[in-house]
Structure 1
Amino acid sequence: MVAQHDETREPAVAYVDPLGEPYLQTRFALPVRPATFLRRPRLAAHLDRALRTPLTMVNGSAGAGKTLLVADWAAGLGQPVAWFTNEAGDQGGGMFWAYVLQALRAACVPLSAEVGCPADANRVDHRLLARLADELSGLERPALLVLDEFDRVTTPGTAEQLGFVLQHAGAGLRLILVTRTEPLLPLHRYRTAGTMTEIRDAELAFTAEEAAEFLDLHGLRLSAEATRALVERTRGWAAGLRLCAMAAQEDPDPEGYLKDFEAGRSTVADFLLAEVLKRQPPHTQDLLLRVSVVERFCPGLVTALTGRDGVESVLAELHGQNAFVEDLGHSWYRLHPLFGEILRAHLRVRSPGLEPELHRRAARWLRASGCLPEALGHGAAAGDWDFTARALVDDLAIGQLFTGLRADDLAELFSHMGPEVTSAAADLVRAARDLSDRDVDRGLAHLRRAEERMAAQTPDAAGRLSCVLLESLVARLTGAPGRAEAALATAEELRGEVPAQLLDKHPEVIALLLTHLGSTRLWAGRLDEASTALSEAAECPGGASTALPREDSLGHLALIDYLNGWLDRAERKARAALSETEQFGLTHPPGSGLGHLVLAAVAVDRDDLGQAQTLLDEAPGPGTGPPDPVTAAGRSLATARLLLARGEPGAAVAAADPAVPALVASPWAEAHTALAASAAHLAEGRPDSAAKVLDDVSCDGEPALVAEIAWARLAAGDRDSAIGLLDGLHPRARTGPGVTVRAALVRARAAHEAGDVATARKLLARALLEARREHLRRPFLDAGPRIRHLLDAPPLQALAAGWLTPDGTAPHTGPGTAAEPATLVVEELSGREREVLRRLAQMMSTEEIAADLYVSVNTVKTHLKSVYRKLGVNRRADAVRRARERGIL
């Protein structure tokens, strides 16, 4: 007869467990920390809260470093800690509690013999648990109990028993659970009461600074950039960092190894496949392998990839298990980057040829769900270029190849599409890519082929509107306003056929159409009509998708204002243009940046030649292809005027011709080229040649051109012709000081030459009043000695003082004028310069000012240079002091 065991009897020494086997002492020992263990003070400080809360949970994925963290913390407490590693999993409630009791006794927790020990490996008597809780509650010093690998406890009964003991032990027990999953305890009660300490996966992740220290312990000293890249790839996962460091130690180029190593063929892969993937049931393993081809996934997408329904609970469980499945919210998940890499490599070995099919399924599900960017990526990965091109065109997203944050990504994506793809959509995409590089011939050839194929198919409004958009760009690049007008007319017909939601989704299409139309009208000299189209483009809905066309249209509007003589308006619009892209962090495509060019031309007219050169240098270069005619002409105009102001007429003539092929001549571009040549001839002492250059220039009654040509003819000695041009000019409301001042100076000089000094002074006074508002200096510096002599008269001195001359004396001119800024009084600050100055007075750094104003650091530096120059100082403190002295601040 076998004697019955009494749980309440006092064992002399608990040497054996309920099965009669010796206790495994290693399960009660604190794990040994390796020599390369990094103590992280922020986590240790968080764990210190465990001494004040009944329950602490350290919850993280496999290899997150949770066990070593708690072991190191426990070793440094200076008091006994009961440690139990539950490596055997669920062997029954009796076995679990026998080991817990043995751990407490091994830590010298004073438990009486009356508590007893379970006799049955599968069960424990409730009276034993009640006696244990009672004795713990009476302890003077709470017992510290660490249960490692608690995620192996999956029996609800055992968790309930532990909850009972924890609740009734009161202040006598501090329980610390180290687990991969949330335990089956009423955690919500402890969280609500604020009696629980939690350290989770995100907090366990190494920061870049911690990773650098950790790698240093392995003898690896990487650059900050390489360290950050490794932390991003591993998400700060402790085991991943350790395994990568150990592997890199064996490589002669550790940094190169860590940058390019294949995760699927590394010890990291062995760890994750064994510890994470193979712990899952077969159907979950298959799910993980299939979702590895996508960046993120939700139940619907997982069903499309696996063919199985009801996956919501599986995904939630994987996340709850810390199985390297991250919850993004709204039922979307993603894999840990390294885990995803390893699963993809494993998928190729386990199921060769399946990956393209999974990409194809993902592409179609994402396309139907409205996730176009991801659908395009998966379509390309599947090699299904016909689907990918059609998805882009059918979504009316062709304009994204020219604007927005994804232009470069799309260009790179479709660069892999081969010539074997012969659909209309594929040809449209090829045309867009060529035209974005300003290769008009190739782009037009692809566009014609797409139109031919489209004509043989069922009419597709989105595809046809995409063709029209590309036609308008061709018109702009070739200077063909008629073609642009025809494109817009077709677009208006198609707008009623294209689904409204597509037009609302892609406002960049209309913005680009209007900008291209406005540019061609401006090139043709139809400034009012151009302004109408460009203003409509500038008012298109905001956002990153329309930022570049809005900037482009504002830059064109700024040029129109400049040509019409409104310097302040031109400056405001040009600065507004630049801020459009700066606020979204967009880079200017090559050949753009008309705003910089207009600002440079304005700076020349204000005789701020250094600023003008800076702005020209900052303007984006032409890139690989020729710029559009308007931008090319704008650069030529600003550059030629700067060179003339510097006394370099030969260089100015060379720079004046935009030299772009255009189907229609531009009256203002041709006129400014001729004016530069005429000024150069005058500077070289050839007035006859200067006059002859202007003979073939047509100004078509445009006030800006009339005033410029009249100025040039008078300078060449043809006074009657100059006055005749001005007499035939009908004043128009849109003509600004840049035009009227030059016209007044022409008449003033003509009157002075005719001996009518009084009229000359009246005209000069009117010119000074007009110019002062816009700080227009250059015309007076170029006006000649007779006009400058008139400025010596006291009434005119007063009008010139404070902005044109320092003390009312006449300004000097000639080569070198710009190199003598002391001869000119500091001009007024612009609105944006005042904003920068106010923040300077608040001791803000350049970077802080840039962030506060939503502009780039380089833009702030440009404003600061201008502020220093205008205030006549070289340092920040002096600028603030001078501004306060003058009442600016």
Structure 2
Amino acid sequence: MDVAATEREVPRGAPVPGGADPLGDPFLRTRFAVPGRPSTFLRRDRLVEHLGQALLTPLTVVNGSAGAGKTLLVADWAAHLGRPVAWLTLDAAVEGPGMFWAQLLQSLNACGVPVPTAIDFPADATRVHHTLLSRLAWELAGHDRPVTVVIDEFERMTDPEVARQLEFVLRHARPGLRLVLVSRTEPLLPLHRYRLAGEMTEIRDADLAFTTEEAVELLELHGLSLAVPVAGALVERTRGWAAGLRLSALAARSSPDPELYLKQFEAGQGTIADFLLAEVLERQPPETQALLLRISVLDRFCPGLADALTQRRDAATILAELHRANAFVEDFGHGWYRLHPLFREILLVHLRRRAPGLETELHRRAAHWLRRSGTLPEMLAHGAAARDWTYMARVLVEDLEIGRLFTDPGSGEPVDWFAGMEGETPDPATNLVRAACELSRSDLDRGLAHLRRAEEQLASDGRDFPAARLSWAVLEALAGRLAGSAGRVERATRSARQLMPRMPSRLLDGHPELDALLLTHRGSSALWAGRFEDARTDLTAVARGPRTASTALPRMEALEHLALVDHLDGRPGAAERKVFAMTAEAERYGLAQPWGSGLGQVVLAAVALGRDDVDRAEALLADAPGPRSADPVPAAAGRAVTAGVLLARGRTGAALAVAARPVPAAGDSPWAQGTAALVVSEALLAEGRPDAAVEALRQVAGDQPLCTVGLARAHLAAGDPGTALRLLDGLEAHGRSGPGVAVPAALVRAQAAALEGDTATVRRLLAQALVEGRREELRRPFRSAGPWIDAFLAEPSLRASAFGWLVPDPEAPDEPAPGGPGPGMPVEELSERERDVLERLARAMSTEDIAADLYVSVNTVKTHLKSVYRKLSVHRRNDAVRRARELGLL
């Protein structure tokens, strides 16, 4: 707190204990008075309790930035302490040890702890005799009750000799002295000794920051009653900085809509900017001011990057000093720093006023430095801010970074970085990046047009440009996958393989994502073409490949495609495990769910449908992201499962409409056609039209086990059991399928035996199907088999195999005990904020979107999510939504 403006000199001739200071001037009373608190001061019990430890330790340090509320906190504590406190506020006029100790002795006099006559006040402002220090320490050590001394604005004391003298007195005055230092910087005392001995109480910037709840109370004291989300957003922006909150509140009070003002106020204007510019920026030497202004264009920075912007070599020393001085430069760890967000906003506005046009050049320098030593997203961000599109494109191509536009979780969408790029250029790298942007947003036609243009430019250019050609091949493989053209993908992959040996091994080894992308694209296109074994080989190679951050997304894509292969082979448990492995990868790299194409969730929905959990299947489909790309594989899988859910709901017309929906692709997909035809066949059977059901599947059965079972069932319904059994015999000879095929096949055979009156065979086949079905919880084949099965399942021998998973256990209670919670009710009731998060979770919002919508931090949302999961006894967001729907919470 700056009290210089309120100082009043002691009138001439008035008695002053201890006399004048060493310069002969009267002591100023305000230097020794505990500062008053404004009416808007908020007493924070957690900090007062923390500061109460000062009575138990010799040394207390309250260390924080300008305006953090240090002085007011200690002043309020001192005023309520119930005992005298010697208060000394330093200023720039403290000239040497003699002046300091004279003022300290006077502070003791002023609080009623008279200095004995044996201790003479220093007569020389520049020095103090060691005898004075010894006598003072002896005197204080003899007190029955410790004397509390507060020295405010201690950062003004820069003389190491005074620090050594003060530490001497503190050490030898025990237990009679409790010293409290209020400072913007770390005091020069040997703090490590006191920390190790447990003899020091510390309150730092992070402790002084206001919480959202405290900010609400503070704003109310300023006459503002605001919603918690608005206050939370203000705390997030100011990082709980006391002065920022108070100045914002004062400005908002004069606004006709305070809430809107606090959401939209510009930090670069008004009292906050004036405060920070005067208290922080203008106190710095010119070279430090220049550095602060230039690094305001950076989200984070290290000394090397700061030097690149200032074109000097002193950033390391300056940044360390700024951090030590609590000058709104925060240590980000591992040698990186960041500016306080409000301070950064203000500095950026000041930079634009002081040096118009410099900001673009600074972004360009940052992009060039980050290419060598930073991260791709940061390089792209600064390159985009500098609008240096050609440079960015050439970096992406020459450094083989083109693949990371699709695999780096922090890179965002390629189109986001290059949204401002306009006009055509003769540079092939630029056209390759344009192609990547278009393909990333599913515009296949535009993406292919740019690829063709880049290909022509590379062909006409006489120079050898293997990096550009390899980048082209990777994008061409993606285009072929999106187009459903396995041949195009194969040709592009072959071309890439021929180019890779020509690249420097160091460069290629640093980009394992390129091979992962090529294999993923080829595996996906092979899956689309119905070549399951080829697909499994490529996709397994990706899933088992290098476990790096750049290959995380291809590995996850490979796992969900492998899950689809397992599902189509009738192995729901294996499919589910692969999706869970994919989810574990996502959590490992901090990726929000749902992500990507949603194929994994579609597979889980298919598994849920096979288990007759139609509600869960529907919830998973609703929670899956919308079509993010033109990839035909997730589109066809989603179409089949959606139609299956509609069939399970009895909406045959809607199911037929969905099944007839085309999936654009250059090549045919046997399994996509087969799953659509299977839906049509089942719908026709439900309508009592078995002959039409047979025709729907006759042309597509082939090497598709599920379709073969469906066709056999249709033939049986049409009165042709012989053909049905011959189809199933051929299926058994194939020997590839899992329980998802074996169980419905056994049920068709059992129904045929039932029609022949062969009950022994029926029971044998049903027993076999129950064993297989129980392992995978395959309820739907049994429940859709028809009424003929009910009598057999009622028999004791078969019913025993169906207890607990297919038919209710007769010993299990049907209803909960009166007055008790229902079997599915959470143990603890969800809070209102947890319900808010849950509702947005059900709308498939990401964690970041929920945080933005509720005006809270991402970490706050994560905390609420953990609590929701715990209360609902689940571990994933999809399960939380399903559970909440079951409980009627949504």
TM-score scaled by length of structure 2: 0.85
Q: CA deviation at 1:659?
A: 0.3
Instruction: State the one-letter code of the partner of 1:715.
Output: A
Match of 2:373?
Answer: 369
Find 2:427's aligned residue among 415, 423, 448.
423
From 561, 569, 572, the equivalent of 2:574 is 569
8 Å contact kept, 2:21–2:27? yes
**Counterparts of 1:429-578 in structure 2 under 5 Å?**
429-455=433-459, 456=461, 458-499=463-504, 505-542=510-547, 545-578=550-583
Q: Which runs of 5+ in 2 are unaligned?
A: 1-14, 815-822, 831-863
Asked if 1:30 is matched to 2:34, the reply is yes
Superposed CA deviations along residues 789-808 of structure 1, whole A, max 9, x for unmatched, are 7767776666666655569x
Q: Distance in 2 between matches of 1:187 and 1:761?
A: 83
Q: Which amino acid aligns with 1:199?
A: I
Using the TM superposition, give the Cα deviation of residue 523 of structure 1 relative to its aligned residue in structure 2, in angstroms. 1.7
Q: Distance in 1 between matches of 2:278 and 2:392?
A: 37
Alignment correspondent of 2:738: 736
Match of 2:714 among 712, 715, 722: 712
1:127: which partner in 2?
Answer: 131
Contact kept? 1:582, 1:855, Cα under 8 Å: no
* Structure 1 residues 326-347: Cα deviation after superposition (integer angstroms, max 9, x where no partner): 2233332222222222222222
1:349, distance to aligned residue in structure 2 (A): 1.8
- The residue that corresponds to 2:840 in the other structure is none
Residues 62, 276 of structure 1: 8 Å contact kept: yes
- Note the C-alpha offset of 1:584: 4.6
Task: Look up the match of 1:819.
Answer: none
Question: Which of residues 293, 300, 304 in structure 2 aligns to 1:296?
Answer: 300
Q: Quote the residue 1:650 is aligned against.
A: 653
Pairing 1:630–2:633 present: yes
Whether the 8 Å CA contact 2:415–2:441 is kept in 1: the answer is: no
Q: State the 1:766 CA deviation.
A: 4.6
In 2, distance between residues paired with 1:512 and 1:444? Answer: 18
Q: State which of 211, 226, 240 in structure 2 corresponds to 1:236.
A: 240
Q: Identify which range, 854-863 or 20-29, moves more after superposition.
A: 854-863
Give a deviation string over 1:735-772, Cα, whole Å, max 9, x none. Answer: 22333344445455556666766666655555555444
Aligned-partner Cα distance in 2 for 1:562–1:270: 64
Deviations 1:777-797 (A, max 9, x none): 444455456676776777666
Structure 1 residues 522 and 113, CA, compared in 2 at 3 Å: closer, same or farther? same
Distance 1:35 1:338, change over 3 A: same
Distance 1:395 1:209, change over 3 A: farther
Which of 305, 308, 311 is matched with 2:312 structurally? 308
2:882 aligned with 1:862, yes or no?
A: yes
Comparing 673-682 and 654-663, the one that deviates more: 673-682
Against the structure 1 CA distance between its residues 293 and 732, is the aligned structure 2 distance closer, same or farther, given a 3 Å change threshold?
same
Letter of the 2:172 partner, please give it.
Answer: H
Asked if 1:263 corresponds to 2:267, the answer is: yes
1:61 to 49, 60, 65: 65
Give the alignment partner of residue 362 of structure 2, picking from 342, 358, 361. 358
Q: Which structure 2 residues correspond to residues 110-125 of structure 1 after superposition, within 5 A?
A: 110-125=114-129
Contact 1:846 1:860 in 2 (8 A): no
Q: Which residue identity lines up with residue 878 of structure 2 in the other structure? A: N
**Counterpart AA for 1:154:** T
Q: CA deviation at 1:514?
A: 2.3
Equivalent position of 1:674 in the other structure: 677
Task: Tell me which residue corresponds to 1:595.
Answer: 600
Distance in 2 of aligned mates of 1:398 and 1:481: 22
Any idea what the Cα deviations from partners look like across 1:840-888, whole Å, max 9, x if unmatched? Answer: 899999945847999434324536878x9xxxxx99xxxxxxxxxxxxx
Local SS of the residue matching 1:181 = coil
Q: Hey, what does 1:4 align to over in structure 2?
A: none
Deviation per CA, 1:256-288, whole angstroms, max 9, x where unpaired? 222222222121121122222222222222122
What's the CA shift string for 1:166-205, capped at 9, x where partnerless? Answer: 3333333322222222333333333333333322222222
Partner AA of 1:572 in structure 2? R
Where 1:84 maps in the other structure, the secondary structure is strand
Q: 3-state SS of the aligned residue for 1:408? A: coil
Answer yes or no: is the 8 Å Cα contact 1:85–1:147 preserved in 2: yes
Q: Secondary structure at the match of 1:197?
A: strand
- Listed one character per residue, the Cα deviations across residues 198-232 of structure 1 (whole Å, up to 9, x for unaligned) are 22222222222222211111112222222222222
Residue of structure 2 in register with 1:96 after alignment: 100
Say whether residues 1:664 and 2:667 are aligned partners.
Answer: yes
CA distance in structure 2 between the aligned counterparts of 1:194 and 1:605, rounded to whole angstroms: 63
Give the conservation status (yes or no) of the 8 Å contact 2:694–2:711: no
Distance 1:547 1:122, change over 3 A: closer
Q: Which whole-Å CA distance do the structure 2 matches of 1:791 and 1:289 have between them?
A: 79
- CA deviation map 1:35-77 (0-9, x unaligned): 1111122222222222233332222222222122221111112
Tell me how far apart the structure 1 counterparts of residues 24 and 827 of structure 2 sit (CA, whole Å).
81
Q: What's 2:392 paired with?
A: 388
Partner of 1:195: 199
Deviations 1:460-494 (A, max 9, x none): 44443332232222222221111122222223333
Mean Cα displacement is larger for which, 791-800 or 508-517? 791-800
Within a 5 Å distance, the mapping from 1:137-286 to structure 2 comes to 137-286=141-290
Q: After TM superposition, give the deviation of residue 159 of structure 1 in Å.
A: 2.9
Alignment check: 8 A CA contact 1:600 1:613 kept: yes
TM-score after normalising by structure 1:
0.85
Give the secondary structure class of the aligned counterpart of 1:176.
strand
**How far apart are 1:93 and its partner, in Å?**
3.1
Mapped to 2, the partners of 1:386 and 1:208 lie a distance apart of 45
| C-alpha spacing 1:474/1:718, structure 2 compared with 1 (3 Å) | farther
Matching residue's letter, 2:617? A
Is it true that 1:73 corresponds to 2:68 in the alignment? no
Distance 1:162 1:363, change over 3 A: same
Question: Secondary structure in 1 aligned to 2:733?
Answer: coil
More displaced stretch, 146-155 vs 736-745 = 736-745
Q: Is the 8 A contact 2:477 2:521 kept in 1?
A: yes
> For this pair of structures, how many residues does the alignment match?
832
Tell me, in whole angstroms, the C-alpha distance in 2 between the residues paired with 1:16 and 1:251. Answer: 50
- Decide whether the 8 Å contact of 1:89 with 1:152 is kept in 2: no
Contact 1:523–1:666 under 8 Å retained in 2: yes
Residues 590 and 123 from structure 1, CA distance in 2 versus in 1: closer, same or farther, beyond 3 angstroms?
closer
**1:13 CA displacement:** 5.0
8 Å Cα contact 1:558/1:574 also seen in 2: yes
CA contact (8 A) 1:846 1:861 kept: no
CA 1:499–1:437: 2 relative to 1, 3 Å: same
Secondary structure in structure 1 of the residue aligned to 2:412: helix
- Native 8 Å contact 1:396 1:462 kept in 2: yes
Q: What is the CA deviation profile of residues 379-435 of structure 1, one whole-angstrom value per residue up to 9, with x for unaligned ones? A: 111221222233334443434443453353654222222235653333222222222
Percent sequence identity is 58
Does structure 1 retain, via aligned residues, the 8 Å contact 2:295–2:309?
yes
